[in-house]
Structure 1
Amino acid sequence: MVVRLIIGWLITIVGLGFAGVRIRWLVRLVQSGQPTTGRTADIGARVWAQVTEVFGQRKLLKWSIPGLAHFFTFWAFVILLTVYLEAYGSLFQSGFAIWWGIGSWPPLGFLQDAIATLTFCSLIVFAVIRIRQNPARIERKSRFFGSHLGGAWLVLLLIFLVILTMFLFRGSSAALGTFPYKSGAWVSIGMGHALSGIGTAGLEVLETVALLAHLAVAFGFLILVLHSKHLHIFLAPLNVTTKRLPDALGPLLPMESDGKPIDFEDPGEDDTFGRGTIADFTWKGMLDFETCTECGRCQSQCPAWNTGKPLSPKLLIMDLRDQLTSEAPYLLNGKEDHEFTALVGKKEDGGVIDPDVLWACTSCGACVEQCPVDIEHVDHIMDMRRHQVLIESEFPTELGTLFKNLENKGNPWGQNNSERMDWAKDLGFEVPVLDGEIPEDVEYLFWIGCAGAFDDNARKTVRATAELLHIAGVNFAVLGKNETCTGDPARRSGNEFLFQMQAQETAENLNALFEGREPVQRRIVTTCPHCLNTLGREYPQLGGNYTVTHHTQLLNALVRDGKLTPVAPADAASVTYHDPCYLGRHNKVYTPPRELAGATGARLTEMPRHADRSLCCGAGGARMWMEEKIGKRINVERVDEALATEASTVVTGCPFCKVMISDGLTQRQSEDKGAGVDVRDVSQLLLEAVHRSQPAESTAEQG
């Protein structure tokens, strides 16, 4: 007993010593990041995130079988702490039981053995998944492509050894008659029966060896975790706690320097514009890098990666983590004379993130949505873009035209503002145009958006929406020539200065328009999810607080209230719905467009990737204005999925998505595929259905 006590405590002291050194180093490294704000606000929401995402494993359970396996493994770490408490007690006293009768309670013994058995089954699942997803066999199709696989197999082995040594220790105790559980611990007691023939002396040796091995494996596992990607076991709860809120990706975070928002009207000399080196990242960014599990869920959902482009959200985070480790000595020792490596650049020139990687992102948010540890990939990409545009003046040449159009014309198309009301010509009723403060009887400001004003396809959407609002008796008005771009394309392409310039002016105009009204009374409806997100989620950063609604939400409410009465056709058409990223993942609006499609009598056939796993059309992140030169076009990939459903119509709720899918469909139809299929906004389907109930009033375009 004395020998195993001494050996047990030596294992503990040595293990804690090595772990302590590593933990101190990691804490100092994360603390070396730039300060940031808003990571501890709304404690209630953060506690709930712990409950649902850490203890409830909400995001992992979206992946059914592997999620369930991870669920059991996580809870094994929690529940088997009681076994380690029993193990340490057994160093001092044979047959030790946890106090107050807990340690001999049959349900606890059953739970301990059950979770260990389920974890063993989970190890088999993990092994099968890794074999089936072996990158050496399926290459880029594997979500583990680029991950460190050796450490993963070693961790599976160590978890197996934890379970094996646990049952050997408990089984030998049961055979010796010192096991505190007389029933309940079914596997341990069964193991005791199997070992009973060894003899007392042999069982005592086996119990001691298994006990010490159980402790040694645990500390070996601890040290491996602290030096590998499996660090997420400890960091994930911290990362989830300090994640951006709310749950939807929503607004891009404002630029900060030294933990304070940058004043673009009077910037400081030492302000940091974006992230140009690893030292520019905040402590939350550094925590993100160290928390990455390399599971590849983000990679498997990324539209860029899935179409042969070099961007993998996982590999990007891994590259940043490697750079953080490489330059850690300078971050920790305060060597101010060290010149930190510029992050963006070709690998052969010493760069960390290739420009083709940086600019391939569509900001769709699929990576953030699927990440089980809440890494903020899109924020880091946008921050690096900001640095490239504002400091380095290095960006795709096509963006130069975009910036000039936004600066000179107030819209990405470069059209004259005098054309902003062309969409309303020959509509059949007058669309009120505001000039000054909004009248009390106007229920909604209808934000047309640049696409709705200047793109022929999008004009059909705003015309249909306007007529539906008119039929429903909704009193709305528009800004006409006084409307300008919200700034979304500028912000997503990294030109934060231009965004601030546009957004400040628009917010001031809207505030003057709605003067005297509470935010809930400042109601705006728009057909563009990008405008929805910018006006509703990002303008509060500039003092503009409005209640912004997507047209599918408002129209769905009008149908429910009986103010619009769609009539189904005799032969229901088959449609498939494409979820716009900025409506779905960014703002969690999934149901209203689908309910509207159903209200028209259409038969909805979902694509394999839909709702929160929907594949981007390829237009987001200012990609609408950039050439797609590498790999398969994302919009063509999406069109192929839509055509596979054999639906006659692809419906969506975003003007950019409509353009991209229409272009992709045109390409496929030129190849004799998808004949007869068209692309429409949900509002156009609804207008047709409403016209069937009042054909004499049908005046709008329906093409």
Structure 2
Amino acid sequence: MLLVAIIGLVMTAAALALAARRVNFLRRLAMSGQPAPERVAYARRNAGAELKAQLVEVFGQRKLLKWTPSGVAHFVVFWAFVILATVYLEAYGALIQGAVTGTPDFHIPLVGTWPVLGFAQDLIAVACVAGLAAFAVIRVQNAPRKLGRASRFSGSHLGGAWLILFMIFNVIWTLFLFRGAAINTGNFPYDSGAFASQGAAALLRPLGEGANEVLEPVGLLLHLGVMLVFLVIVVNSKHLHIFTAPLNVLFSRRPDGLGAVPQMRSNGEVLDFEEADPDTDVFGRGTLQDTTFKGFLDFYTCTECGRCQSQCPAWNTGKPLSPKMLILDQRDHAFAIAPYLLASEAEREDLPQDVLALAGKPLVGEQGVIHPDVLWSCTNCGACVEQCPVDIEHIDHIIDMRRYQVMIESSFPSEAGVMLKNLENKGNPWGVPEVKRAEWIEELASRQVDPIEVTLIEDTVPDGMEYLFWVGCAGALEDRAKKTTKAVAELLHMAGVRFGVLGPMEACTGDPARRLGMEFVFDMLARQNIETLNEAGVTKIVATCPHCFNTLANEYPQLGGTYEVVHHTQLLARLVEEGRLTPVTPIEEKITYHDPCFLGRHNKVYTQPRDIMATVPGVTTQEMHRCKDRGFCCGAGGARMWMEERIGKRINTERVDEALTTDPDRVSTACPFCLVMLGDAINEKKNTGEAKPTLEVVDVAQLLVTSVKGGTTSA
């Protein structure tokens, strides 16, 4: 047994040395980029939230279990690693005790002979084999050679996945080999409970006592050897996520990685645009060296599962953006130029020419690591982040690369340039004079039936006013969205809610500029609005546009503008619940609801719009196949509202095609952008005869006001 112990310990030392060398390389590579002190500070300040995240995301496998078959399989394989750690403790104990006493009958102190532990070890090992079989079936069924682009594994490194499944299988059968032999030699710590090991022992018993005495140390060394080889493979493969996933979850944004876009930082400090120098400061991500350690953690942690890819509206409509490949292409490039990233300036001159050539390759460009069409296809819908089981933040990578392209390279779709000029000059994306923002107010006041006077805040909020109604650019200037604005104003008036609007004093929140990557324009507009709101004494805001809602609630606090912000569906649902609004007139229609991305995934507002529709008599609701956290984008987010869609199928057309499968009388939503995008696609379908001539898209507020006051939908 002494020889067995020496062999086992030598193998262990060699494997740990190789693994440690790789881990040190990965650490140095991650730290070669930009610091992200805000991530560390948040994790320290919110230890409770981080502990909950580890329990729910890592140990509870919450996101993985959303995909039931593969989620359950991963759950049992993950817990096999956790529970079978006790088997390795027993194995090393037997190795050392056998060398010392000559009898490898080690057991874990206190619990080492408890039958329940032996049963748990065997049960999870058997479940692990079932999980491996499930993984194999899933991979065969979803093989890219069969499904092509439709496979979520398209673009993944397939060979590595099969190798890992094979290695895990080797872990299990060698476990039962040495445990079965140990039972036959009398060195097994459990008298009962370990049912599978006892079955293995029954199979090995006919070989005789001598054979089992040989098989026990051989099986022990095989089991340890497989584990050690597996360790070395893991730290050199995509399955590195076994170790990095908890770290990636730890440093992710809470509550779920969506919400506010991180502020621009240079060398860890928030960038001050008045003092920033493009020659010395970091503006977004122009090279991989501009990536933070969290970005590198994202690279290391990607499991190549393709959940993000399968949910991406760009990928699903024939565009080149795959959130998975966006991460993998950067990861592969980082490993390829690692010698350059880790070398000093003097050392770089002596590097091989192929490494220097790769290091000089632009991060974004026609011949770059990331093609511009990939970068500009993103709608910022958040489906990738929502579905990623290891909290990779794909949108952060895209926004950072966009920032560099827009602010330093001035390279972005030309039509977006018009939008930026309009924001700078007129305070709205359409370039309409600011006085036009008050026209809807005049239209409400001049109605012959039920005219409504809306308070225009000119200085400070009047006493007793409950909410500032943030109308938004679309709500004030776009004809279809103005119907929603009027409906909300009318409902608030009927409910007795005192509210006012800024009118011409309101400017765009800056969301289109920030999502495009022009942080300077966002900063300018945001500070202007915050100054206006603070001077007026605003504390509570209701907004109809989810993009405005998200920006005001989640991003303005970064610049000192902290307010209580609600979406109009949240406020209206509460008013209905309190009895201040009562739907009475039936609307005998089948309606399907489209979840706006920035209301749903970004802010988790799913129930209130549906609650409103549920209170309207006569309405029959029918969910689309992709809804709620798996909802499909309209195509307008990420500043795509102001960019032409030239590649593949239009995203709004894809969404309307899905809506038409429910045979609706109307499509409802709760976002002016969605209203416009879905409305345009529906009109196209009407022209080709694919949709009912009466089909239209309306905001849930329009449905509610129709039922509350009777008559036709409010205009």
User: What's the secondary structure of 2:668's corresponding residue?
Assistant: strand
User: What's the secondary structure of 2:370's corresponding residue?
Assistant: coil
1:600 to 609, 616, 630: 616
Look up the equivalent residue of 1:208 and give its one-letter code: P
Look up the equivalent residue of 1:295 and give its one-letter code: C
User: What's the secondary structure of 1:437's corresponding residue?
Assistant: coil
Confirm whether residue 184 of structure 1 aligns to residue 190 of structure 2.
no
Distance 2:632 2:105 in 1: 56
Deviations 1:439-487 (A, max 9, x none): 1211000001000111011000000000000000000000011111010
Q: Map 1:342-491 onto structure 2 (within 5 A).
A: 343-347=362-366, 349=367, 351-427=368-444, 428-491=451-514
CA contact (8 A) 2:288 2:363 kept: no
CA contact (8 A) 1:232 1:291 kept: yes
Distance 1:381 1:589 in 2: 24
Distance 2:362 2:184 in 1: 61
Deviations 1:312-340 (A, max 9, x none): 00001001101111221122122376784
Look up the equivalent residue of 1:174 and give its one-letter code: I
2:360 to 341, 349, 358: 341
Cα pair distance change 1:248/1:17, threshold 3 Å: closer
The Cα of 1:659 is off from its aligned counterpart by: 0.4
User: What's the secondary structure of 1:113's corresponding residue?
Assistant: helix
Distance 1:19 1:100 in 2: 29
Match for residue 668 of structure 1? 685
Distance 2:683 2:133 in 1: 47
Deviations 1:154-180 (A, max 9, x none): 000000000000011111111222211
Distance 2:695 2:193 in 1: 62
The Cα of 1:271 is off from its aligned counterpart by: 1.0
Look up the equivalent residue of 1:677 and give its one-letter code: L
CA contact (8 A) 1:167 1:191 kept: yes
Match for residue 204 of structure 1? 213
Match for residue 695 of structure 1? none
Match for residue 665 of structure 2? 648
Compute the RMSD of aligned alpha carbons. 1.4
Q: Map 1:317-336 onto structure 2 (within 5 A).
A: 317-335=327-345
Distance 1:342 1:654 in 2: 41
Deviations 1:678-697 (A, max 9, x none): 100000000111013xxxxx
Match for residue 643 of structure 2? 626
Distance 2:345 2:201 in 1: 60
Distance 1:500 1:346 in 2: 27
Cα pair distance change 1:556/1:330, threshold 3 Å: same
Confirm whether residue 507 of structure 1 aligns to residue 524 of structure 2.
no
Distance 2:530 2:274 in 1: 15
Look up the equivalent residue of 2:246 and give its one-letter code: P
1:58 to 62, 82, 89: 62
Deviations 1:324-382 (A, max 9, x none): 112211221223767843544445x3x11000000000000000011111111001100
Distance 1:346 1:491 in 2: 21
Confirm whether residue 702 of structure 1 aligns to residue 711 of structure 2.
no
Distance 1:442 1:97 in 2: 75
1:310 to 310, 320, 334: 320
The Cα of 1:701 is off from its aligned counterpart by: 5.5
Q: Map 1:77-156 onto structure 2 (within 5 A).
A: 77-91=81-95, 92-93=97-98, 94-156=103-165
CA contact (8 A) 1:276 1:342 kept: no
What is the TM-score of this pair, normalised by structure 1? 0.96
Query: Which stretch has the larger CA shift, 238-247 or 678-687?
Result: 238-247
Match for residue 688 of structure 1? 706
Deviations 1:374-411 (A, max 9, x none): 11100110000000010001000111110111111110
1:493 to 504, 516, 532: 516
Match for residue 583 of structure 2? 566
The Cα of 1:567 is off from its aligned counterpart by: 1.8
Structure 1 runs not aligned, ≥5 long? 516-521, 693-697
Distance 1:48 1:55 in 2: 10
Query: Which stretch has the larger CA shift, 672-681 or 359-368?
Result: 672-681
1:577 to 583, 586, 593: 593
Look up the equivalent residue of 1:463 and give its one-letter code: K
CA contact (8 A) 2:456 2:503 kept: yes
Confirm whether residue 270 of structure 1 aligns to residue 287 of structure 2.
no
The Cα of 1:98 is off from its aligned counterpart by: 2.9
CA contact (8 A) 1:526 1:550 kept: yes
Look up the equivalent residue of 1:25 and give its one-letter code: F
User: What's the secondary structure of 2:565's corresponding residue?
Assistant: strand
Match for residue 3 of structure 2? 3
The Cα of 1:535 is off from its aligned counterpart by: 0.8
Look up the equivalent residue of 1:599 and give its one-letter code: T
Confirm whether residue 241 of structure 1 aligns to residue 246 of structure 2.
no
CA contact (8 A) 1:248 1:585 kept: no
User: What's the secondary structure of 2:408's corresponding residue?
Assistant: helix
Match for residue 448 of structure 2? none
Distance 1:147 1:270 in 2: 37
User: What's the secondary structure of 2:682's corresponding residue?
Assistant: helix
The Cα of 1:425 is off from its aligned counterpart by: 3.1
Distance 1:214 1:474 in 2: 70
Distance 2:20 2:475 in 1: 59
The Cα of 1:96 is off from its aligned counterpart by: 2.9
Distance 2:532 2:177 in 1: 74
The Cα of 1:38 is off from its aligned counterpart by: 2.1
Look up the equivalent residue of 1:600 and give its one-letter code: V
Distance 1:100 1:35 in 2: 44
Cα pair distance change 1:76/1:121, threshold 3 Å: same
What is the TM-score of this pair, normalised by structure 2? 0.94
CA contact (8 A) 1:248 1:587 kept: no
The Cα of 1:540 is off from its aligned counterpart by: 0.6
Distance 2:332 2:288 in 1: 10
Structure 2 runs not aligned, ≥5 long? 350-355, 445-450
The Cα of 1:552 is off from its aligned counterpart by: 0.2
Distance 2:713 2:477 in 1: 16
The Cα of 1:148 is off from its aligned counterpart by: 0.3
Distance 2:565 2:257 in 1: 16
Distance 1:38 1:566 in 2: 47
User: What's the secondary structure of 2:39's corresponding residue?
Assistant: coil
The Cα of 1:46 is off from its aligned counterpart by: 1.1
The Cα of 1:11 is off from its aligned counterpart by: 1.1
CA contact (8 A) 1:568 1:599 kept: no
User: What's the secondary structure of 1:382's corresponding residue?
Assistant: helix
Q: Percent identity?
A: 56
User: What's the secondary structure of 1:183's corresponding residue?
Assistant: coil
Deviations 1:27-78 (A, max 9, x none): 1111112111321321211111101000000110110110011011111111
Match for residue 532 of structure 1? 549
